[in-house]
């Protein structure tokens, strides 16, 4: 595994556990985001890693709360703004987060703490999310006179609905864990000390599944969801036709008939 300043990677049982640690709040600096791109390269290229889980290090916290990610590094804004590079600065962050959203392996955000601004935007790019019941999410950028810039205005309404998303982006009010679960912004809400165990349990289960079929599910949903239904069905048909040509399809059928657990190879 590569050496990183802000990340560590441990691969076991098909799961790449990625720990992010930039005290005190995992602010998304340019350096951290660049390293995250390297982490994605490494996990994507590792055949032993079928699922990626991202969690915050235990040293990530404020005096009052455990954090997952406090958002973009505001200290870097000034130089980018004054030099007229704001568009490119923000664009780099958007492109990286979009890459996470399009990652070909299943990704899970183990939100073992609160996430605000860019932290919520980062979490929303993961396919599945487990949130601590003590934590909050939110897009408070309006309180700084700006708007979410790493995809929040587009992903938050798509995930939790237009009306509640607009309320939280216009007021900057945080989203409590119970509300995040109610609106489908996260998959599970559990006590803080159960976040990583729950995420790993889910990840190990998914790591036993068929990688090609999982990738096709991710692609079909991403490519078809915002299209008219008839176009979405064409996307599904294309993905289904492709997956039927894999060895895993034969293995799945044989295992079903033989009443045994399948052994998927990702081929």
CA distances from 130 to 44, 53, 141, 154 (A): 22, 10, 23, 21
Calpha distance 24→172 (Å, rounded): 22
Identify the pLDDT of residue 83. Answer: 60
The greatest distance separating any two alpha carbons of the chain, rounded to the nearest whole angstrom, comes to 66
The full set of domain ranges for the chain reads 7-207, 211-257
Identify the pLDDT of residue 1. Answer: 62
Which residues neighbour 240 within 8 Å (Cβ) at sequence distance 6 or greater? 216
Worst-scoring range by mean pLDDT, 25-29, 186-190, 261-265?
Answer: 261-265
CATH of domain 7-207: 3.90.226.10
* Catalytic positions: 121, 141
Interval 149-183: pLDDT, tens: 999 999 999 999 999 999 999 999 999 999 999 99
Closest to 126 in 3D by CA, of 49, 58, 222: 222
pLDDT of residue 76 exceeding 80, the answer is no
Calpha distance 192→214 (Å, rounded): 28
Worst-scoring range by mean pLDDT, 25-29, 76-80, 255-259?
Answer: 76-80
Identify the pLDDT of residue 265. Answer: 79
pLDDT of residue 267 exceeding 70, the answer is yes
Identify the pLDDT of residue 80. Answer: 60
Mean confidence (pLDDT) of the chain: 93
Identify the pLDDT of residue 79. Answer: 63
**Could you identify the residue written with the tokens 């890693």?**
49
Provide the pLDDT confidence category of residue 72 given band limits of 50, 70 and 90: confident
Interval 242-254: pLDDT, tens: 988 887 877 777 7
Torsion of CA 101, 90, 181, 223, to 10 degrees: -30
Calpha distance 198→195 (Å, rounded): 5
Identify the pLDDT of residue 78. Answer: 66
Which residues neighbour 248 within 8 Å (Cβ) at sequence distance 6 or greater? 210, 211, 212, 213, 262, 264, 265, 266, 267
Interval 119-129: pLDDT, tens: 999 999 999 99
């Amino acid at each position: 595994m590569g050496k990183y300043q802000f990340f560590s990677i441990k691969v076991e049982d098909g799961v790449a556990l990625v720990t992010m640690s930039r005290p005190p709040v995992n602010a998304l600096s340019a350096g951290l985001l660049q390293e995250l791109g390297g982490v994605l390269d490494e996990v994507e290229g590792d055949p032993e890693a079928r699922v990626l889980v991202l969690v915050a290090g235990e040293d990530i916290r404020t005096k009052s709360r455990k954090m997952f990610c406090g958002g973009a590094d505001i200290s870097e804004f000034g130089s980018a703004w004054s030099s007229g590079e704001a568009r490119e600065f923000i664009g780099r962050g958007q492109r990286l987060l979009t890459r996470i959203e399009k990652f070909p392996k299943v990704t899970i955000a183990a939100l073992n703490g609160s996430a605000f601004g860019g932290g919520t935007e980062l979490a929303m790019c993961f396919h599945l999310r487990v949130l601590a019941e003590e934590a909050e999410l939110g897009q408070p950028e309006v309180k700084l006179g700006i708007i979410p810039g790493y995809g929040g205005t587009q992903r938050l309404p798509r995930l939790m609905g237009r009306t509640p998303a607009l309320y939280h982006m216009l007021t900057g009010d945080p989203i409590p864990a119970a509300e995040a679960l109610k609106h489908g912004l996260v998959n599970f809400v559990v006590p803080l000390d159960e976040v990583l165990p729950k995420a790993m349990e889910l990840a190990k289960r998914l790591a036993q599944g068929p990688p090609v079929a999982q990738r096709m599910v991710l692609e079909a949903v991403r490519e078809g969801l915002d299209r008219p239904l008839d176009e979405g069905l064409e996307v599904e048909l294309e993905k289904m036709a492709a997956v039927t040509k894999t060895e895993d399809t034969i293995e799945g059928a044989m295992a079903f008939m033989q009443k045994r657990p399948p052994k998927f190879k990702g081929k």
